[in-house]
Amino acid sequence: MKRNLFDRFADWAVCFTGSAGAFIGASLLVIIWAATGPIFKFSEVWQMVINTGTTIITFLMVFLIQKGQNKDSKAIQIKLNELIASHEQASNKMVDIEDLTEEELDELHKFYERIGKAPKRKSEPRKSNPDDGHTKVRYK
């Protein structure tokens, strides 16, 4: 699988920044910065160093975190779609549910809440399919 430079860097950065080493490194930088306060007489420049540094890092991390979450979300959606497609009584409407509007999601949520509160019958399997009879999509 060929991935571009940004994808490889983003994967590495997300993995690294979530590590204990990165946390310890960032903590040490803050401790060193705080310890140098008396040397620099707690000047405005001394304060600007930490403010500017943390602002830049935070700004860049927002994009890396979003990229990682987009990738994870897409992978989870594909896995869930596979599970839905493999279950005979599952509703095909659920496959692209992330594309629904907020109102449509609320409607489905209420539907499944009603199903959850309904008494269970032992003799027949309960159909949790809001679309009643759509054709089943099968992956090969």
- Write the pLDDT tens digit of every residue in 121-132: 665 554 555 555
| Co-location of 29 and 82 in the same domain | yes
In angstroms, the CA 129 to CA 114 distance is 12
One domain, residues 26 and 56:
yes
In a shared domain, residues 97 and 75: no
**Based on the domain organization, do 12 and 81 belong to the same domain?**
yes
Does one domain contain both 139 and 120? Answer: yes
Same domain, 82 and 111: no
53 and 40 within one domain: yes
Q: Residue 94 sits in which domain range?
A: 88-140
Q: How many domains does the chain have?
A: 2
pLDDT in tens, 62-119: 999 999 999 999 999 889 888 888 888 877 777 778 888 999 889 988 988 888 888 8
Q: What letter represents residue 50's amino acid?
A: I
Q: Classify 138 in phi/psi space as left (phi over 0), alpha (psi -120 to 50) or beta.
A: beta
Q: What is the per-residue pLDDT for 139?
A: 41
- Are 93 and 137 in contact, with CB atoms under 8 Å apart? no
109 shares a domain with 54: no
Note whether 82 and 127 are same-domain residues: no
57 lies in the same domain as 28 = yes
Instruction: Mark whether 70 and 94 lie in a shared domain.
Output: no
Domain boundary among 42, 67, 86: 86
Domain boundary among 71, 86, 101: 86
**Share in percent of the chain as helix, strand, coil (round to 5):** 65, 0, 35
Average pLDDT of the residues of the chain:
84
Could you tell me if 118 and 81 are in contact, meaning their C-beta atoms sit under 8 angstroms apart? no
* Pair 81, 25 in one domain: yes
